Amino acid sequence: MVKILEGKPVAEKISQQAKQVVDELKRVECRPTLAIVRIGEDASSISYETAAVKTMNQIGIDVTSVFFPEDTTSADIFAEIDRLNEDDQTHGILVMQPLPEGISRNDIAKRIDPEKDIDGLTPDNLGKLVENDQSGLWPSTPKAVMALLEYYKVELVGADVCVVGSSPVVGKPLSILLLNEEATVANCHVKTKNLEQYTQQADIVISATGVAHLIGPNHIKQDAIVVDVGYGRINGKTCGDVQYEAVAEKASAITPVPGGIGTITTAILAEQVVKAAWALKAEHKH
């Protein structure tokens, strides 16, 4: 019988801990505040923003939303990021993705103050991730995957893990986080030849490509653990990278979509806002 790895209890635990720190911060006259910057009307961005705002409100974090139309110049966006970097009342900056054509994720990442970079985009924070330096702010989706594995006590030391997806936002940083926990990691992607050759060897398969139903039962070995980070739609229904029903018959444990990793990601964002607020508060004491 397959075990369903629900995201909700993981998110609730993280949110509860974050809320305790928010209460402590408010006692020392600090109101943790997140600025969300969105450019354009991408539907997935809007739904993610809505979920993030809801989570922040529940935990007691203030949110300011900054919206730019799709044809805004990079210069205007940089000016706003500079303003938020300078603003002592803003503790976290989240720039929604995907970005419109002509606006570079790298340029934006380099512009954000690393201490306010709650989605772990800056070269500074990615360097800390490679070094396993816990003071860094790390990308929220990979962190959500690690939180899920920890919550359900999935043994990572020496485990064979196949990560499908090599984006700088999920696949690459997730592979490094798993290596930091002494897992053996194969990092594949949609262009990998004979993908099944890698996924079938793995104790844990984590797919984060955004290609709906990419992973079928023939991709996994019997009793593997399957984590689906993908998010797509087929015939108007939300689904992930994994053919859920078919794969669930063969896996020992699997995450649902929706209700899995996405649920945890917004709680991780809140945790990072609180971490950033705490660090900035401590800095100002000196």
Q: What is the CATH number of the domain that holds 243?
A: 3.40.50.720
Written as six digits, the tokens of 138 are 């790390």
Answer whether residue 3 is part of any domain.
no
E strand intervals along the chain: 3-4, 33-39, 62-68, 92-95, 160-164, 184-188, 204-207, 225-228, 232-234, 237-239, 253-254
Answer whether residue 13 is part of any domain.
no
Answer whether residue 250 is part of any domain.
yes
Q: Alpha-carbon distance 257 to 114, whole Å?
A: 31
Same domain for 147 and 253? yes
Tens of pLDDT, residue by residue over 146-181, are: 999 999 999 999 999 999 999 999 999 999 999 999
Closest C-alpha among 150, 124, 122, 111 to residue 268: 150
The range of the structural domain enclosing residue 203 comes to 140-262
Same domain for 86 and 146? no
Answer whether residue 189 is part of any domain.
yes
Q: How far from 85 is each of 195, 207, 235, 279, CA to CA, in Å?
A: 42, 34, 42, 15
Do residues 277 and 25 make contact, with C-beta atoms less than 8 angstroms apart?
yes
Q: What is the CATH number of the domain that holds 50?
A: 3.40.50.10860
Same domain for 159 and 98? no
Find all residues with CB under 8 Å of 57, minimum gap 6, and list them.
Answer: 63
The backbone torsions φ and ψ at residue 111, rounded to the nearest 5 degrees and listed phi first, read -80, -30
Amino acid type, 230: G
Tens of pLDDT, residue by residue over 246-285, are: 999 999 999 999 999 999 999 999 999 999 999 988 887 6
Written as six digits, the tokens of 201 are 């060897």
Same domain for 176 and 93? no
Count structural domains, the chain: 2
Same domain for 258 and 158? yes
Tens of pLDDT, residue by residue over 97-135, are: 888 888 999 999 999 999 999 999 999 999 999 999 999
Do residues 225 and 3 make contact, with C-beta atoms less than 8 angstroms apart?
no
Report the predicted TM-score, pTM, of the whole model to 2 decimal places: 0.95
Same domain for 79 and 157? no
Answer whether residue 185 is part of any domain.
yes
Same domain for 108 and 160? no
Tens of pLDDT, residue by residue over 192-229, are: 999 999 999 999 999 999 999 999 999 999 999 999 99
